[in-house]
Structure 1
Amino acid sequence: MTTDNTTVFVSGATGFIALHVVSDLLKAGYIVIGSGRSKEKNDGLLRRFNNHPNLSVEIVKDIAAPNAFDEVFKKHGKKIKVVLHTASPFHFQTTDFEKDLLTPAVNGTKSILKAIKEYAADTVEKVVITSSVAALVNPGDMGNPSLLISEESWNRDTWESCQANAVAAYCGSKKFAEKAAWEFLKENKSSVKFSLSTVNPGYVFGPQMFADSLKNGINTSSGIIAELVHSKAGGQFQNYSGVFIDVRDVSKAHLVAFENPECAGQRLVLSEGLFCSQEAVDALNEEFPQLRGKIATGEPGSGPSFLEKNSCKFDNSKTKKLLGFKFYNLRDCIVDTASQMLEVQNQV
């Protein structure tokens, strides 16, 4: 696919991952139409990209509303060739799991696909959905060292069982939204022309596209690093664990997902390996002299043995082959994330 005049629609364009995606698309020469929840957010986005001539933004107030994307596709459908659906709720501040996590994730995915079918069936050629490793494995199984997860795996929670708590509900929301997308394509194969790929990242670390966005809060995964940066010497921390990936690699993968024809119909599992908070805090203590002695240390060096006992195994060799580029390692990822946080706090 040539970039000349190729128009890409990015839903949820003001999000942590999406801002990197928008930046990479503009650098590659694509025309980008984004969506955001309000005029204020959208104006902020345009300002951040210096009112780039190839960038415009539309308001989609609520992705869970029926026909949420209809207006955008009525207006622009005839020129959009690629759709990157990154918008989905990701937070744990709720007890109404269906209303705040499950339903919006599923409805948002269905409504964007329906809008494509209705108004851009002949023009949209590629759809990439930002899913998650959470669609592959539920939180309980994540800690099972005898389990091997790959591109073929699915989270085994049901709609009911994933409502045990907010984390399980978020993971369930990613599974059911992704399932809805594959089912939609199966049912509508004859009336749309697009191929579908999903991008399934683990914990996403790495710097924000714009450092000042840290002043308005932080994405959920990077919050783990922020907690450690703000921990106290001798203090305790929760030893989170799972697979990780750098946001810059997630962004790059979204472009390869639609540019490389071999990615059509594939689930791209983005993981550079396992991490735990202990390994992250070791990196912070080793790489930032100004933090040494001021933040928690836990049990230095115990990360690998903790992961051996407390994490399932991942095999995403198929994805790595399809994408064909090297991912950031954990140390660089943590250092770049923390450096930006410290810079914003003027602690460097």
Structure 2
Amino acid sequence: MSEKQTVFLSGATGYIAQHIIKQLLDTKKFKIIGSVRSEDKAQKLANNFNNSPDLSFVYVKDIADPKAFDAAFEEHGSKIDFVIHSASPFHFKVTDPKKDLIVPAEIGSAGIFKASVKYAPNLKHFVVTSSYAAVFDILREEDNSLVLNEESWNTMEEEQAITNPVFAYCYSKKVAEQTVWKLAKDLNAKFNINAVNPVYVFGPQCFDSSVTKELNTSCEIINKFIHASPDSPVDESIKGSFIDVRDVAKAHIEPLLNSEKFNGKRLIMDAGRFGNQTIVDVLNEIPQLKGKIPVGNPHRDDELPVKMAKVDNSKTKELLGFEFISLEQTVKDTALQVLKHEGKL
């Protein structure tokens, strides 16, 4: 049997990253070195994966430090075949949008990429977890004349981006991804590169034990309705596109199995449009929730796809070659895991 190849995965305790680890281990083709911020988190994750001999950890305290990854890559670089850079802060609790979001995004991407070039001579492929936020125009999401595809970029300038945390977050994702593409040219990187650009990511946590009172940013949209009273309003504040976490994880692994095919590509992970009402419509199909949660105005969001900017990710779907999980499936799987954890099934 051929020797297992080694993947360096940054931000190993993240929601998406844990699914990436699971799927990598399931192939039995890879060893994983995951970066984590603390020994405590590493131990918990190792336990969840039954202390797999193919999973080890390094400690990277602060990815916003330009040399954060140097020590880990200096030590392990010669045996690293692939890098998946999935570590990225996703929050809006900031005081200075530029300092708290934009600068760390750029430094984090530059740090791990430079370390890869300098210390990993056998590296074959580098995958960066980017975002739909690097693709779309936040001010034109409801402009149905706009068509976005794998070549589209967030058009906002920094001057406007720093006026509020949401704009700054979206801009930071563009900066982080563009930093990778620019450094690839500037440093004449010898390995292949691609980006994965997910929209709102739903789906179960990798482990039931990871279910907490408040879930990660995207899944919390579903979680808040599971715990809402029947008379709670179903507001129209959230509308966008969805993708299942298991499909996002898969999209990080396919390029490792077929590097040339994915080189230079951006993968827009989008399985369709949704709004809060769409989520509630699906949740009301679950017998344990029916009559206990808001109903809103059923099917109010059915026309959303034609009212919003069109996302043409046909190139992504063709490259990946697998069917994306449906909204109904991803919402139900997310909800049923929460209900199981709370002893309500």
TM-score bracket, normalised by the shorter chain, equals over 0.9
**Relative to 1, partners in 2 of residues 1:306 and 1:3: Cα closer, same or farther, differing over 3 Å?**
farther
Corresponding position of 2:232: 235
Query: Is 1:110 aligned with 2:104?
Result: no
In structure 2, the residue matched to 1:10 is 9
Tell me, yes or no, if structure 1 residue 329 matches structure 2 residue 326. yes
Match of 2:296 in 1: 298
Aligned counterparts of 1:98 and 1:212: Cα–Cα separation in 2? 35
Deviation at 1:307, TM superposition (A): 4.3
SS in 1 for 2:303: helix
Q: Does 1:279 align with 2:278?
A: yes
Q: Greater shift after overlay, 97-106 or 110-119?
A: 97-106
Report the AA paired with residue 164 of structure 1. Answer: T
Deviations 1:279-313 (A, max 9, x none): 11001112x1222222111110111224433x211
Task: Tell me the distance in 2 between the aligned counterparts of 1:205 and 1:26.
Answer: 22
Percent same amino acid at aligned positions? Answer: 46
The answer for the alignment partner of 1:207 in structure 2 is 204
Q: Give, in angstroms, the shift of residue 58 of structure 1.
A: 0.4
Q: Can you give the 5+ residue segments of structure 2 that lack an aligned partner in the other structure? A: none
Trace 1:62-141 onto structure 2 (pairs within 5 A). 62-120=62-120, 122-141=121-140
Deviation at 1:71, TM superposition (A): 0.5
1:100 Cα deviation after fit: 2.2
SS in 2 for 1:160: helix
Q: Deviations over 1:147-173 (max 9, x none)?
A: 111001000111221123222211111
Q: Distance in 2 between matches of 1:306 and 1:197?
A: 30
Query: Which residues of structure 1 form unaligned runs of 5+?
Result: none
Secondary structure of the 1:303 match is coil
1:317 and 2:314 correspond:
yes
Q: CA deviation at 1:110?
A: 0.3
Alignment of 1:188-227 (within 5 A): 188-189=187-188, 192-215=189-212, 217-227=214-224
**Separation (CA, whole Å) in 1 of partners of 2:220 and 2:52:** 30
Q: Secondary structure at the match of 1:123?
A: coil
Residues in 2 aligned to 1:131 and 1:222: alpha-carbon distance in whole angstroms: 18
The correspondence for 1:257, drawn from 233, 239, 255, is 255
Q: Distance in 2 between matches of 1:216 and 1:109?
A: 31
Quote the residue 1:245 is aligned against.
Answer: 243
- Residue of structure 2 equivalent to 1:43: 43
Deviation at 1:103, TM superposition (A): 1.4
Alignment match, 2:143: 144
Q: After the TM superposition, which parts of structure 1 deviate over 6 Å for at least 4 consecutive aligned residues?
A: none
**Equivalent residue of 2:81, what SS?**
strand
2:272–2:305 CA contact under 8 A, matched in 1: no
Equivalent-residue separation in structure 2 for 1:14 and 1:290 (angstroms):
31
Deviations 1:34-77 (A, max 9, x none): 00111111111111111101110000000001201001100000
- Please give the alpha-carbon distance, in whole angstroms, between the structure 1 residues aligned to 2:2 and 2:302: 43
**TM alignment of 1:16-35, pairs within 5 A:** 16-29=15-28, 30-35=30-35
Deviation by residue 1:228-271 (Cα, 9 ceiling, x = unmatched): 11122121133311111000000011001222221111001111
CA distance in 2, matches of 1:216, 1:294: 18
**Structure-1 separation of matches of 2:201 and 2:264:** 23
d(CA) in 2 for partners of 1:123, 1:9: 12
Q: Give distance in 2, aligned partners of 1:339 and 1:249.
A: 19
Q: Cα 1:275–1:54, aligned 2, differ >3 Å: closer, same or farther? A: same
State the secondary structure of the residue aligned to 2:333: helix
TM-score, structure 1 as length reference: 0.95
Secondary structure at the counterpart of residue 194 of structure 2: strand
Separation in 2 of the partners of 1:169 and 1:245? 23
Answer yes or no: is the 8 Å Cα contact 1:244–1:273 preserved in 2: yes
What is the CA–CA distance in structure 2 between the aligned matches of 1:345 and 1:96, rounded to whole Å? 38
The alpha carbon displacement at 1:3 in A equals 7.2
Find out whether 1:155 has 2:154 as its counterpart.
Answer: yes
What per-residue deviation string (whole Å, max 9, x for no partner) do you get for residues 99-148 of structure 1?
A: 2221111111000011112211x211100000011100132222222111
1:172 equivalent in structure 2: 171
Amino acid of the residue matched to residue 194 of structure 2? S
| One-letter identity of the residue aligned with 1:258 | L
- TM-superposed CA distance for 1:216, in Å, is 6.6
1:199 aligns to what SS in structure 2? strand
